[in-house]
Amino acid sequence: MMVFVRIPLVLVSVVLLQITLFDELRIAGIAAECAMGLAVAAGLAGGSDKGAMVGFLLGLFLDLYIATPYALSALTFAVVAFIAGFFDNSMANTSWLVAGPMIGIGTASGVAMYVLFGEILGEDHFYTDRFWVLLIVTGLAGLLLGGPLMAAMRWCFSNGARQGPPPIRRFGVVN
Amino acid sequence: MRRPHEAGISSPRLLLLLVIASVTLMTLDIRDVGPFADMQQTTRNIVEPFRSAGDTVFDPVGNVWDDVFSGGGNQDELDALREENAKLRNDFIAQANASDLLESVMLQLDISYVGNIASTIATVVDGSIGNFDDFHIDVDRGSNDGIRVGMPVISGGGLIGRIDEADATRSRVLLIVDPTFNVGIRVVGSREDLAIVHGGEWGNPLRVDEDINPLAAIEIGAPVVTSGLDGSLYPADIPVGFIVSTQLDEGALTQILEVEPSGELASLRHVTILLYDPDAEVEP
């Protein structure tokens, strides 16, 4: 039951941080894609199904504030989290040093996917000559934020009681 | 033992369902379905106090960040020069237009070319959000202040955009540089030449690429103002910009005009929203 309290709390908090704090802290004019990072973390922490659902809801909420086609973030986050859920999450769950790079790479890949979907939908200004800078900055930001984001999503999906190590999942199969 | 996803919707089906839901929502948004837009607005209104609190807390952090990474020490001087430049452009248009509507207007609080149209001053509270929303700003006036979608937004230098979304206490302005932004214009001094100008993205001039008589003599530097024709969202004679280039498109039997916007867009702090209702204007 706590899951249904924790997830909305984390989603709302991250979206508010995304549109307030992280929108101010720009590097080379580029803001960290904290919400995309959270979608990746949701996939890693909860697996494909839960991750995709959380990513979708997160994207829907974020899309209320950005003037791009509504549900474009929801679509991208769901797909990114779904794909992230197929990767081995045991390492990401145990060390921030591993979670960071995984979420950084996932974030940059998600941003590239977002640009692709946007271009398909006719948003011609998504792909610019700064595309690679965008990927590098958002990837590095994801790397730095990966640990806290992973911890937040692990907290969301935990049942409140102390547990042993999470089950090792390789490509969607629980061993 | 059953795998987790076998208990409910299997993973590929769930993803497919979410993709279909996303596409459906996109369609509803593009078609501007009333209840759907209201629901979005209501959600934003509920969260607005938290967002405002976040802005209050984090704006100083952002200012410090800008000072450190963007050489913010010269920003005030740069802003002042930009503002002065915008006012000078406006003055030029005012002199060029035969009518008296554009007379000696310098301050936002005293923009006379809007005639008797009621207006309200708004403060810019946010620029574009994220990395892909390049053509919007948020202002601190909303539907509680009489703001409605479509209302023109001007600065000292002229038209800069229109209201795209109006929440209770905040509105989103679509800037004139957006390629989807269209406005009916006329070139001052050639009243026959009515056309549509559209945005050309940041750093590029606005473009008129149809409906200009290829034989019309249009001078470089000629001011461009809103046409204010029936059905237009905008009242007549709001400065839009200056012609910076003309090119004959023989295939399309038109001239392609490039228009440099006269409104200052780069460092907006305050804007004027015209509480203009085109339907009311049409009424006899």
In terms of residues, how long is chain B?
284
Q: How far apart are CA B184 and CA B224, in angstroms?
A: 10
Nearest CA in chain A to B23: A71
Q: How far apart are CA B158 and CA B161, in angstroms?
A: 9
Give the mean pLDDT of B254-283: 79
**Which of B15, B20, B22, B66 is most worth mutating to test chain A (most A CB atoms within 10 A of its CB)?**
B22
Give the mean pLDDT of B194-205: 81
- Secondary structure (H, E, C), A122-137: CCCCCCCCCHHHHHHH
Alpha helices in chain B (DSSP H): 11-30, 34-70, 75-96, 278-282
Give the mean pLDDT of B177-205: 79
Nearest CA in chain A to B133: A67
Chain B residue numbers touching A42 (CB-CB < 8 A): none
> Is the sign of the CA dihedral B179, B181, B183, B186 positive or negative?
negative
Token output for B165: 């979304």
- pLDDT of B230: 66
Per-residue pLDDT band for B103 (boundaries 50, 70, 90) equals very low
- pLDDT of B75: 63
- pLDDT of B106: 35
Looking at the partner chain, which of A24, A60, A72 has a beta carbon nearest the beta carbon of B62? A24
Task: Write down the residue that tokens 């470089």 correspond to.
Answer: B220
End-to-end CA, chain B: 77
Q: What is the pLDDT of residues A67-114, one digit of tens each?
A: 888 999 999 999 999 999 888 666 666 677 788 899 999 999 999 999
DSSP state of B126: E
Is B2 touching A (CB cutoff 8 A)?
Answer: no
Task: Tell if the CB–CB gap between B179 and A121 is shorter than 8 Å.
Answer: no
Q: What is the pLDDT of residues B19-42, one digit of tens each?
A: 999 999 999 888 877 677 788 888
Least confident of A33-47, B90-104, B243-257: B90-104
- pLDDT of B107: 41
Q: Check pLDDT > 80 for residue B252.
A: no
CA-atom Rg of chain A in angstroms: 15
Q: How far apart are CA B144 and CA B141, in angstroms?
A: 8
List Cα–Cα distances, B213 to B97, B190, B247, B257, in angstroms. 21, 11, 12, 11
Q: Check pLDDT > 60 for residue B105.
A: no
**Helix pair A72-84, A96-120: axis angle to 10 deg:** 140
Q: Check pLDDT > 60 for residue A49.
A: yes
Per-residue pLDDT band for A170 (boundaries 50, 70, 90) equals low
3-class secondary-structure state, position B248: strand
Give the mean pLDDT of B72-97: 66
Nearest CA in chain A to B43: A64
Token output for B228: 């204010």
Q: Check pLDDT > 50 for residue B122.
A: yes
Per-residue pLDDT band for A54 (boundaries 50, 70, 90) equals very high
Q: Check pLDDT > 80 for residue A130.
A: yes
Q: Check pLDDT > 50 for residue A11.
A: yes
CB contact at 8 A, B236 and B225: yes
More confident residue, A115 or B231: A115
Q: How far apart are CA B46 and CA B39, in angstroms?
A: 11
- pLDDT of B69: 75
Token output for B154: 């001007």
Closest CA to B114 of B161, B62, B63, B153: B153
Chain A residue numbers touching B43 (CB-CB < 8 A): 61, 64
Task: Tell if the CB–CB gap between A71 and B29 is shorter than 8 Å.
Answer: yes
Task: Tell if the CB–CB gap between B65 and A24 is shorter than 8 Å.
Answer: yes
Q: What is the pLDDT of residues B223-247, one digit of tens each?
A: 888 887 766 788 888 888 888 888 8
List Cα–Cα distances, A48 to A35, A89, A109, B227, B230, in angstroms. 17, 11, 16, 55, 54
How far away is chain A from the Cα of B44, in angstroms, using its nearest Cα?
A: 7
Own/partner pairs for B229-232, CB < 8 Å, 24+ apart?
Answer: B229/B184, B229/B194, B230/B282, B231/B278, B231/B282, B232/B183, B232/B184, B232/B278
Q: How far apart are CA A156 and CA A3, in angstroms?
A: 6
Could you tell me which residues are beta bridge partners of residue B126?
A: B138
How far away is chain B from the Cα of A35, in angstroms, using its nearest Cα?
A: 10
Chain A residue numbers touching B62 (CB-CB < 8 A): 21, 23-25
Q: What is the pLDDT of residues B208-227, one digit of tens each?
A: 887 777 777 777 888 888 88
Residue type at A44 in one-letter notation: L
- pLDDT of A35: 96
List Cα–Cα distances, A10 to A71, A98, A157, B44, B85, in angstroms. 19, 22, 11, 17, 45
Q: How far apart are CA B213 and CA A92, in angstroms?
A: 65
Q: How far apart are CA B255 and CA B267, in angstroms?
A: 32
ipTM score of complex:
0.85
Q: Check pLDDT > 60 for residue B17.
A: yes
What is the number of alpha carbons within 13 Å of residue B229 lying toward its C-beta? 11
DSSP state of A70: T
How far away is chain B from the Cα of A44, in angstroms, using its nearest Cα?
A: 15
- pLDDT of B62: 83
**Helix pair A131-157, A96-120: axis angle to 10 deg:** 120
Task: Tell if the CB–CB gap between A75 and B164 is shorter than 8 Å.
Answer: no
Q: How far apart are CA B19 and CA B39, in angstroms?
A: 21
3-class secondary-structure state, position B167: coil
Give the mean pLDDT of B2-14: 62
Token output for B224: 């461009």
Task: Tell if the CB–CB gap between B179 and A68 is shorter than 8 Å.
Answer: no
3-class secondary-structure state, position A93: helix
Looking at the partner chain, which of A20, A27, A66 has a beta carbon nearest the beta carbon of B58? A20
Nearest CA in chain B to A30: B131
Token output for B107: 């301050």
